[in-house]
Structure 1
Amino acid sequence: MPLSAPRQPTLMRSTQTLRDTQRPSSAWVGWGQWLALITMTVDHVTRYLMPYSWDVGWASSSIGRIAFPLFAAMVAWHALFNTRDPMRYARRILVIGLLAQLPYMSMPRYGFQLNICFTLALGLCWGTLLYELARRSLFTVSTNKHAWGKAIKAWLAVAASLAIWWLVGPWVEYGHRGLLLIPFYMLALQALNQPAETLSERLGATAATLPVLLVAGLMNNSDMAKAFTVATCLAVLLLAAGAASRVPQIAAGARMPRKLWLAWYPGHFAAIAVLLHWPG
C-alpha cells in the first residue's frame, strides 16, 4: 500500500505548517510497515481462504484488527511530519486502491464496497482540509469583516465535508468510523507533539486523544476486536507522546522494499482471488 511519504515532495504553502513543530522520530514506521502487512495478510487469509470448519475466526478478530488502525496511523503521521504535499500523497493511495479494487471485489461480501485505500485516502484529504481550515479561518477573532467572511466560508466548508462524509461512509471499508480515524489521529498526534508545560496544555493534549480512542472502541463488534483496535491506537499515541524517540531504527537489510510495500495490497488480493476461484 502507498503509505510511505513521497521521496521528493513539492512545496505547498497551504500545508507548510503541518511540519512547523519539531519532527518526532519516525523510526517506528519501519517496524510498523512489517506489522501492518503481516496482520492484514493474516486477516484476509483466515477470512477468505481458511475453511469454516477450522474455526480460525479468532485470528481475524484479534491479530487482524491491528492492521487498519496501524495503516491509518502511518498515513496521519506521514501527513503531519514527513510530507509537504498530503494531497499528492492521498492521490498515490487512491492509485493503489484503484489497482486493488477488481480483485477486492472478487472476495465474498454483501454488495459493492470500496477497499481500504479509499478509506485512507479520503480520510487523509478530509483531515488535511480540516487542519487547514482550523489553522486559517475557523477560530478567527477579529472585527474585520473580511476575516469574519473567511471564517463563515470555512464553517460552510466544514458543513459540506460532513455531508460528504455522511454520503460516502456506507461505500467504503470501515464506513463512517473508518473515515474519522485519520482526522482524529492528526488532531491527537499534532497535540501530543506540541510542548506541554502547563497543566492546561497537558490536559488539552490528553483530551485530543479521546476521539481516536472512542472511534477505535466503536469500530468493531466483538470485545476482542475492540480491545486490539484500541490497544493499537493507544500504542501509536504513546509513540507521539515521546516513546517514538526510544524506538531503534530498523536494520538496513530488514527494511521493507519500496516495491513490495507499494505492490503488496493489490498483489495479495490478486493471489487470494486466484486461490479462491481456481477451478476445482
Structure 2
Amino acid sequence: MTLQAAMPAARHPSSAWTGWGQWLALATMTLDHLTRYILPNAWDLGWAGSSLGRIAFPLFAAMVAWHGLFNTRNPLRYARRILVIGLVAQLPYMLMPRASDAFILNVCFTLAAGLAWGAWLRAQADRYRRGERKGHWLALGAAASLAIWALLGEWVEYGHEGLLLIPLFMVAMHHLNRAGDTLGERLLATAAAVPLLLVAGQMNASDMAKSFTVATCLAVLLLAAGADRLTPRVPTAMPRRLWLTWYPGHFALMALWLWWAGGLGGIG
C-alpha cells in the first residue's frame, strides 16, 4: 500500500453556509454603499458602513476562495466570470462620488485577481510536490507573481491587502479542512490561519472596522474547521440572476439617483 493510499481522504466540506453568506454579503455591501454614496451626511450613519459594512468584502472573498478551492474544477474560468461582472460594473462604479480622482478598478477585479493568483500558486505547489517543477523555478514564479501583486495593488479596490485575502483564505481553508486529530496537525492548521487574520486586521483604519473584518474571517475559518456540518440550508436560495446582476445593477441605480438628485439641487 502506498503512503498516499494509506492517508485518509480529506472530507469534502458542505457549502450550505454560502447560501446564507450570499444574502448577508449583498445586504451588508448595499448598506455600506448607501451610507457612503447616497444617504445625507447629516444622518450620521457612517458607523453602519464602518461596522456591518465591513462584513461584505471578507465574506465575498471567503465564498470565492471556498468555491475556488472545494467546488470548481476550473478556478480560472470562475475568475473570468467574476471579471465579466466587474467589467459591466466599472462604469457605474466610476460615477460614485469619491474623495480622490484616482482611477480604481472595482472589487470584482480584486476578487478575480485574488482567485487567479491563489489557484496559480496552488497549481505550482502541486507540480513541485509531484516533482514536475524545480524549486528554483517555483521561487522565480512566486517572485514574479509578487511583482504583479505590488503593481496591481495600486489599481484595485481594497489594494494590496484585498488581493492577498483570497490566496490566504485558500491556504487556511485547505489546512483546516485536512487537519487531523494530532497536536501537530492542529498547530499547523492554526498557523496557516494566522497570516489571513493579520492581513484582515490591516485592511481598515478604525478599530471597529478592523474588528468586524477579522471577526468575519474567523467565522469562516471555523466553518472550514468543521462547523460547516452544523449549518442548515438557507430556506430561500439566492436567485442566480439576482446574484450575478446585483453588483453592477445597484451601482447603476445609485448613479441614476445621484444624477436625479443632483438635478434637483442635491439631497444633503
Relative to the length of structure 1, the TM-score reads 0.88
Residue pair 2:127, 2:133 contacting (<8 A) in 1 also: no
Q: Runs of 4+ in structure 1 displaced over 3 angstroms? A: none
Aligned-pair CA distance for 1:196: 1.5
- CA displacement at 1:165 relative to structure 2: 0.2
Of the candidates 122, 126, 132, which is equivalent to residue 135 of structure 1?
A: 126
Letter in 1 for 2:32: D
- Matched residue count: 252
User: Aligned residue for 1:154?
Assistant: 138
Q: CA RMSD in A?
A: 1.3
Within 5 Å, which residues of 2 pair with 1:1-280? 21-109=10-98, 110=100, 111-137=102-128, 150-251=134-235, 254-278=236-260, 279-280=263-264
Mapped to 1, the partners of 2:213 and 2:179 lie a distance apart of: 27
Q: Could you list the per-position Cα deviations for residues 169-194 of structure 1 after superposition, in whole angstroms to 9, with x for gaps in the alignment?
A: 01000000000000000000000000
Alpha-carbon distance in structure 2 between the residues aligned to 1:53 and 1:45? 14
Q: Give distance in 2, aligned partners of 1:196 and 1:233.
A: 22
- Identify unmatched segments of 5+ residues in structure 2: 1-8
Q: Distance in 2 between matches of 1:75 and 1:23?
A: 16
Write out per-residue CA displacement over residues 76-97 of structure 1, whole angstroms, 9 at most, x where no aligned residue: 0001111000000000000000
Question: Using the alignment, how far apart are the partners of 2:132 and 2:239 within structure 1?
Answer: 49
Q: In 1, Cα distance between the equivalents of 2:210 and 2:116?
A: 26
- 1:139-170 C-alpha deviation (Å, 9 max, x unpaired): 68xxxxxx596322121111000000000001
- CA distance in structure 2 between the aligned counterparts of 1:195 and 1:213, rounded to whole angstroms: 19
Give TM-score, length-normalised by structure 2. 0.91
| Aligned twin of 2:5 | none
Identity, % of aligned pairs?
66
Instruction: Check 1:34–1:149 CA distance in 2 against 1; reply closer, same or farther (3 A cut).
Output: closer
